[in-house]
Amino acid sequence: KTPLYFADEDNVLGIISVADIVKPTSQAAIKEFEAMGIEVVMLTGDNKKTAEAIRKQLGISRAIAEVLPQDKEREIRNIQEQGKKVAMIGDGINDAPALARADVGIAIGAGTDVAIESADIVLIRSDLLDAVTAVQLSKATIKNIKQNLFWAFIYNTVGIPLAAGVFFSILGWKLNPMFAGAAMSLSSVSVVSNALRLKFFKPKRLSTDAIVNYDKTVEDNENIAIEKDNKENIFIIENEENKENNQNICLIEDTESIEEKGDDEMKKILKVEGMTCGHCKAAVEKALKAVDGVENAVVDLEKKSADVTLNKEVRDEVLKNAVIDAGYEVVE
């Protein structure tokens, strides 16, 4: 924690302690990385005491503190020289060199434009579980490609000699050209159909215990969660100093509702995180307008807010869940 002292000319008025708050899904994400055999390393510009405290809270085996942008890039290069593949997750301007150096750079959608431009992958939501989903989807894609290559090789190894008449003199086998053409088309259909199975991809999750345990930990230990890491490949989580802009990957995001009551209608303003384009704006507006009691919803991308006009009382939790179901976060 960072203590802030408040005093007048003569006396100390009080002390306020400030600390990073861990996002509830981060614990589940770390466990998922662990299950995939990925080592987690934390790079941060914070001082060593703060970094060590966060490292212990999260159960991360290695944390490197007080690093400048060029230091982050150097650390990633050192890990690569050990023969390991590195993915870097970051959202700040000082992450850009590291994101560019890493084998795979992953930027948070709510991060800076420089970080997004330097990254290979951009996560729309500020949720570390989306990085887990990206890794799982990439593995599923590679597996699908290998399957297609294998079956195409077997298919052609058998079909081409048969169509060429190689087996005719030995076994009397021959293939009618019409059937050969149909078989070739069937080969393409089977490969494309197998690739289309990726449309039904769903990320695998170990359990929801991490989030449940986090909620209990928050009550017992002042908003501190525990996460674990594993070792083999390297996966770097960026821990930023900027708390005001929610640039720390591990943040709690709750609802902020500002009610303005008139004679016949009521308005609420929701602060929504993760919106980056017109498509995001349309998705949030559509989700909110679908809620019973919502007369209109207007999203402002610059302010990252949604102005909701109600014709009857609607609980904040209902509006929040509608936005979350659309794939975005309501923050406070």
Task: Show the 3-state SS of 4-71.
Answer: EEEECCCCEEEEEEECCCCCHHHHHHHHHHHHCCEEEEEEECCCHHHHHHHHHHHCCCEEECCCCHHH
The reported pLDDT for the residue numbered 95 is 87
pLDDT in tens, 250-293: 322 333 333 343 444 588 888 888 887 777 888 888 888 888 88
Indicate the class that CATH gives domain 2-127+210-239: alpha beta
Nearest to 139 by CA among 201, 90, 228, 84: 201
The reported pLDDT for the residue numbered 193 is 92
Residue 297 exposed, middle or buried by CB count within 10 Å (0-12, 13-18, 19+): buried
pLDDT in tens, 196-218: 999 999 888 775 544 444 444 43
The residue type at 51: A
What DSSP letter does each residue of 197-208 carry, written as one string? GGGG-------S
Which residue in this structure is represented by tokens 């289309």?
196
Sequence-distant (6+) residues with CB within 8 A of 111 are: 90, 91, 92, 95, 247
Instruction: State percent of the chain over pLDDT 90.
Output: 16
Of the pLDDT bands very low, low, confident and very high (cuts 50, 70, 90), residue 221 is very low
Number of Cβ within 10 Å of residue 204's Cβ equals 12
Q: Where are the domains of the chain?
A: 2-127+210-239, 135-200, 257-330
The residue type at 324: I
Residue 296 exposed, middle or buried by CB count within 10 Å (0-12, 13-18, 19+): middle
Which residue in this structure is represented by tokens 């017109």?
278
Mean pLDDT along residues 61-89: 89
pLDDT in tens, 83-139: 999 999 988 888 889 999 999 999 887 777 888 888 899 888 878 888 999 999 999
Which residue in this structure is represented by tokens 């939501």?
125
Higher pLDDT, 195 or 243: 195
> Given a cut of 60, is residue 234 above it in pLDDT?
no
Indicate the class that CATH gives domain 257-330: alpha beta
Residues in the chain: 332
Over the chain, what is the mean pLDDT?
Answer: 77
